[in-house]
Amino acid sequence: MLKHASKSSETAPAPTRAVQHPLQNAWMFWYNKVNRSNAYEADLVKIHIVKTVEEFWAVFDMIKHPAELEFMAEVSLFKMGIDPKWEDPINHDGGRWVFEVENYYLDHEDVYLSLVFFISFFYHTFLRTFILF
C-alpha cells in the first residue's frame, strides 16, 4: 500500500516544511485488500491520519501507484471518526465515489490532476469520504 515500506513499519514521512496548513478536519487514509473470503473489517488497514495539507501530500506521494496495488485493492480517505463501512451511522444514507482507471491510463500525474480537479470541483460540497483508487 505504501511505497518502500514493510508491513511492520508502514508510516509516512513527516513533512519538512516549517509552515503547516491545517485542514478543517483530520482525515484517515485506509487500505482494503478486498479478500471476499474474509470479513470486510478483517482486511481494513489504517494507513495514516492527516491533519495538514502537507501531511496529505506526504502520504499521497507514499501510496503505491495504482498499477502496483494488488487486484481489487482500495485506498480510501475518510473523515476522522467515520469508519469505512456502511454500518457507521454517518454512512447509512451515503454513497460512494470511485475513481477507476484502465491499466493503460495509469499515470501518477493523471491521478494527481484528477484528484486536484475532484477536490476543487467539490470544495464547497459537504464531503464525507471518497475512494481514491
pLDDT tens-digit map of 64-76: 877 777 877 888 8
Per the CB < 8 A criterion, the answer to whether 82 and 129 are in contact is yes
Contact 133, 101 (CB under 8 A): yes
The confidence band for 112, taking pLDDT boundaries of 50, 70 and 90, is low
Note the pLDDT of residue 92. 79
Class in CATH terms, 22-127:
alpha beta
Residue 42 is given by DSSP the state G
Mean per-residue pLDDT, 121-131: 50
Q: Where are the domains of the chain?
A: 22-127
pLDDT of residue 84: 86
pLDDT of res. 50:
94
pTM of the model: 0.65
User: What local confidence, expressed as pLDDT, does residue 52 receive?
Assistant: 93
Percent of the chain with pLDDT over 70: 59
Decide: 132 and 110 in contact? Cβ < 8 Å. Answer: no
Enter the C-alpha cell of residue 55.
Answer: 501531511
pLDDT over 60 (residue 15): no
Q: Tell me the average pLDDT across 47-62.
A: 91
The pLDDT value given to residue 131: 47
**Sheet containing strand 44-52, strands side by side:** 44-52, 22-32, 74-79, 129-131
Give 79-102 pLDDT, tens digit per residue. Answer: 999 888 878 888 878 777 766 666
pLDDT of 133 higher than 50:
no
